[in-house]
Structure 1
Amino acid sequence: MRNDGEVTEFSEFAHACAPSLLRTAYLVAGDHQLAQDLLQEALVKTLLAWPRLHDRDNLEAYTRRIIVTTSISWRRRRSFHERPTEALPERPGTDPTQALVDHEAVIAALRALAPRQRAAIVLRYYQDLTEAQTAEAMGCSIGAVKSQVSVGLTRLRASLGPTFEAAGTTESEATA
Structure 2
Amino acid sequence: MKTSAEAEYRQYVADRWPRMLRTAYLLTGNHHDAEDLAQVALAKAYTGWERVQRAADPDAYVWRIMINANADRLRRLKVREWLTNRFPERQSADRADRIVDRSLLMEALGRLPARQRAVVVLRFLEDRSESEVAAVLGTGVGTVRSHTARALAGLRRDGAVLGLGPGRGRAAVVNR
For Structure 1 versus Structure 2, the TM-score category normalised by the shorter chain is 0.3 to 0.5
TM normalised by structure 2 equals: 0.42
Higher RCO, 1 vs 2 (CA within 8 Å, ≥6 residues apart): 1
* Larger-Rg structure: 2
